[in-house]
Chain A
Amino acid sequence: MKTLLTTLLLLGPAIPAAAHEFTVGDLYVDHPMIEEAPPNAPVLGGYLSIANRGGSDDRLVAIESAAARKVELHRSSVTDGIARMQQITDGLAVPAGTTVELGDGNHAMFLDPDRRYVAGDEIGATLVFENAGRVDVVFEVEKRSAESAASSHGDHAR
């Protein structure tokens, strides 16, 4: 067991996902990722998770990126067999002591990306929080997995 732990600790920094975290104040932003999309795709879906380890609530109010005309927060759902998408205009609440996801029904929608992005590319963006302020993050572009995509996008960070 001890050997295993040591091995894991040694391997730790080599696992990209483990290192792919960004911090601002008490907020920990984990694994921002974008799913690779077809050429000419007018939109890209972005996902991440935010852990609020502090004592006060916060709110993700915007995402900015030079790589897209604009970035919107969306809630998408399938209800009664109908796929619906709604813009989240009042931001995404990140209550104290919780972890919330852009994923699992929510996503950041990058509209009109400036070029084609494929798996392995990185897209810089800034997350804007109501209280914690701004934090620069990097979305890693990953191949779309047909297997995991079915149920929920939240799976990417699980």
Chain B
Amino acid sequence: MKKPASGLRTLRAVLWTLVAVAAAGTLYLTYGTGRQQAEAGEAFYAKPFSLVNQDGAAVSEASFLGKPSAWFYGFTHCPDVCPTALAEMSGILEALGPDAEKLQVVFVSVDPERDTPEVMKDYVDYFDARITGLTGNLDQVSAMAKDRYIFFEKVPVEGGDYTMEHQASIQLVTSDGRFFGTLATEEGIDVRLAKVRRLIDQG
């Protein structure tokens, strides 16, 4: 497109800069003060939950401990943010090469009423068969999200349909369930890859 160099666009740029500054601050807190700080992160990814994976099998928090992981919370009725995030995660898995084995990538549906295990299976397989898709009932997903400080909310739209507002970032988690940091939607792939590599190095 030639250029909608509109004020809106400038505003967006300014906002993204602010987000980047905030992210850099978070990064500093997470990494800048060293290993100590990261290890001191709260282990809220070790809190109990019970959901089902894309094959319909029951899973719990224990299923994902013991290996670093990357978590994304979204829904299949999302035309851009969610498929983009998953496409990017599959790009990261690819770029990791054999090291991809050291990372678990998990996509949790925040719209379990529509996202059955069957729907989730086709969805994650399309991006990367190594991605795990989780769903369950609304109470189970809500409880997990609350424990992990993940925001999502159902928003009605005209004509009886609804959409979901949801956390846009990917959460990085250590093998013992401690919060390690986030991958933000506006970061370049190389920045994200570097963060994921640091996560894998630290375990």
Contact = CB atoms under 8 A, between A and B. Distances in A.
B123 interface: yes
Nearest to B182: A81
A40 B88 contact: no
Given A41-B76, A146-B90, A149-B84, A82 B165 contact: yes
A101 B1 contact: yes
Contacts of B3: 99
Contact of A150 (B119, B155, B189): B189
Contact of B165 (A35, A49, A84): A84
Contacts of A82: 151, 165-168
A154 interface: yes
Contacts of B15: 79
A145 B19 CA distance: 24
User: By DSSP majority rule, is chain B's interface helix, strand, loop, or mixed?
Assistant: mixed
B169 interface: yes
A44 B80 CA distance: 9
A157 B1 CA distance: 5
A144 B83 CA distance: 9
Interface stretch (A59-67, A104-112, A121-129, A131-139): A104-112
B139 interface: no
B128 to A, nearest CB: 11
Nearest to A51: B2
A82 B80 CA distance: 13
8 contacts: A37-B79, A38-B83, A42-B76, A43-B76, A81-B168, A101-B4, A146-B88, A147-B189
Interface of B: 1-4, 9, 12, 15, 19, 74, 76-84, 87-88, 90-91, 114, 118-119, 122-123, 125-127, 151, 155, 157-159, 161, 163, 165-169, 182, 184-189
